[in-house]
């Protein structure tokens, strides 16, 4: 265990390397302002992405620029923070440095690892080309283009056939995607095609579990399923996917022909455990101590999607944005204390603020523990919560205006298909990237 007594006593800045500019990493940096630290913030992307609304960028509701912000712009007024765009490939615990590609080495006194998660295909990574996940801005644009391309293909066929779109995964992301795609087909695209009716599109939501929204109580799960069925969405629950191919998906019950397939079934942690040379737990998470440090290394901390943190009733802290933000703020307080600049925060205590999921237009399900809500009021609460967590007044106003415009006219101005096409008109597969919210870190 590293001795933390006397940090900064020689007058030199305490060097903190933060890997990942997601919710956890950024909240640490924000909470550590004026702490006298020398912070290096490393991320493979040049922007912070508000993942809880990423599905709306994929389904043409919002421009990506309203939910993503350049990291350098966010740090413009922080001379204590150096931003590095690079991909971490190793951590040398003995030399106390982080190594990156392109080649770089960044020494630390304290290391905070919060690089988030990537899409998991449960050992079937070859499915990624046919069923892209939704973790990055480029993923959102690729999915948007695939969906819009499916409608254009049906228009060219002029057979009267409408597209079939399948979403694999019945968690919050899958449910939200299904509801928004149904709205796109039934409202936004009406009267825009001549060879077929977009409202005749088939939308299928597939999950191996026997119910949707496993993070919500049974009654809210049943409400969500009833709402989706009322919107005309076909639910294939209790069916395991055995393959994804150009023509659709294979299920245990048989093949399902689809024009577009979207993967929302799982995530895994960025391989922090491999960097640290430790054994990972479920989903690739690294087990940490009560102060979020790596056992035996009190100067190394793991937070967000990559951390396995004990919570209550045998459960772990969920990999969602509020948890990551709490962990980032906690570490800032802990480090201040170790530098003699604040009180001891004690062990990390997660405060769950509730679970929310939208289910189509003006409908949502909310579980605050002490109260459960559904319908329009729940949707307003969901919207207010997400607006609150956006960065900056401009983004809040822009998102509100886009939502207002969509509700007023049933039209969105974010329906540009920008991803490249190959000669056959298909959209190439996108690489996996980091950082559900549900981070949803």
The packing angle between helices 172-183 and 218-230, to 10°, is 20
What is the pLDDT at residue 190?
85
Tokens coding 354: 């509730």
Q: Mean pLDDT score of the chain, rounded to an integer?
A: 90
Q: How many Å from the N-terminal Cα to the C-terminal Cα in the chain?
A: 28
Q: Where would I find the H helices in 205-271?
A: 218-230
The residue ranges of DSSP E strands in 56-188, in sequence order, are 68-70, 81-85, 87-92, 97-101, 104-107, 110-113, 117-119, 164-168
What is the pLDDT at residue 423?
39
Q: Tell me the mean pLDDT in the region 254-279.
A: 96
Encode pLDDT of 384-429 as tens digits: 999 988 887 778 888 888 777 666 665 555 566 665 444 333 433 3
Encode pLDDT of 288-308 as tens digits: 999 999 999 999 999 999 999
pLDDT at residue 436 tops 80: no
Global pTM value: 0.90
What is the pLDDT at residue 11?
67
Encode pLDDT of 72-88 as tens digits: 999 999 999 999 999 99
pLDDT at residue 188 tops 70: yes
Q: Which of 176, 239, 308, 432 is catalytic?
A: 176
176 catalytic? Reply is: yes
What contacts 125, CB < 8 A, 6 or more positions away? none
How many residues make up the chain in this entry?
A: 441
What contacts 103, CB < 8 A, 6 or more positions away? none
Encode pLDDT of 173-187 as tens digits: 999 999 999 999 998
- Phi, psi angles (nearest 5°) of residue 18: -115, 120
Q: Where would I find the H helices in 96-160?
A: 137-157
The 3-state DSSP class for residue 176 equals helix
Q: Let me know if 160 is exposed, middle or buried by CB neighbors in 10 A (0-12, 13-18, 19+).
A: exposed
Enumerate domains of the chain plus CATH numbers.
14-44+86-119+268-338 (3.50.50.60), 125-265 (3.50.50.60)
- Phi, psi angles (nearest 5°) of residue 88: -70, 135
Q: Tell me the mean pLDDT in the region 189-213.
A: 95
Under 8 Å between Cβ of 357 and 440: no
């Amino acid at each position: 265990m590293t001795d933390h007594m006397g940090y900064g006593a020689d007058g030199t800045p305490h060097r903190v390397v933060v890997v990942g500019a997601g919710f956890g990493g950024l909240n640490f940096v924000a909470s550590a302002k004026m702490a006298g630290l020398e912070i290096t913030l490393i991320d493979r992307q040049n922007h912070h992405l508000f993942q809880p609304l990423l599905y709306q960028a994929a389904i043409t509701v919002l421009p990506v620029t309203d939910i993503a912000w350049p990291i350098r712009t966010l740090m413009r007024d922080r001379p204590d923070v150096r931003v590095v765009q690079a991909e971490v490939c190793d951590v040398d615990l003995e030399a106390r440095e982080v190594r990156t590609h392109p080649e770089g080495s960044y020494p630390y006194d304290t290391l905070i690892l919060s690089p988030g998660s990537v899409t998991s295909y449960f050992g079937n990574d070859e499915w990624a080309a046919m069923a892209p996940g939704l973790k990055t801005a480029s993923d959102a644009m690729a999915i948007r283009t695939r969906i819009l391309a499916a409608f254009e293909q049906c228009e060219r066929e002029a057979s009267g056939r409408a597209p079939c779109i399948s979403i694999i995964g019945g968690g919050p992301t899958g449910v939200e995607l299904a509801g928004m795609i149904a709205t796109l087909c039934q409202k936004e695209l009406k009267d825009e095609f001549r060879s077929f009716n977009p409202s005749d599109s088939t939308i299928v939501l597939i999950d191996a579990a026997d119910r949707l929204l496993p993070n919500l109580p049974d009654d809210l799960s049943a409400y969500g399923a009833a709402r989706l069925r009322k919107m005309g969405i076909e639910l294939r629950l209790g069916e395991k996917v055995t393959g994804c191919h150009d023509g659709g998906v294979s299920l245990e019950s048989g093949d399902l022909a689809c024009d577009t397939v979207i993967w929302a079934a799982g995530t895994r942690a960025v391989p922090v455990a491999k960097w640290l040379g430790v054994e990972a737990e479920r989903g690739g998470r690294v087990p940490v101590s009560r102060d979020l440090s790596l056992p035996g290394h009190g100067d190394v901390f793991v937070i967000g999607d990559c951390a396995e943190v004990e919570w209550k009733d045998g459960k772990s802290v969920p990999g969602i944005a509020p948890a990551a933000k709490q962990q980032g703020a906690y570490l800032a307080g802990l480090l201040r204390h170790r530098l003699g600049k604040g009180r001891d925060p004690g062990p990390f205590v997660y405060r769950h603020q509730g679970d929310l999921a939208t289910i189509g237009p003006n409908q949502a399900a909310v579980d605050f523990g002490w109260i459960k809500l559904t319908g329009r009021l729940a949707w307003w609460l969901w919207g207010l919560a997400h607006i609150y967590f956006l960065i900056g007044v401009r983004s809040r106003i822009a998102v509100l205006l886009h939502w207002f415009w969509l509700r007023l006219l049933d039209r969105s101005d974010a329906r540009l298909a920008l991803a490249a096409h190959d000669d056959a008109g298909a959209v190439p597969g996108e690489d996996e990237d980091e950082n559900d919210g549900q981070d949803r870190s």
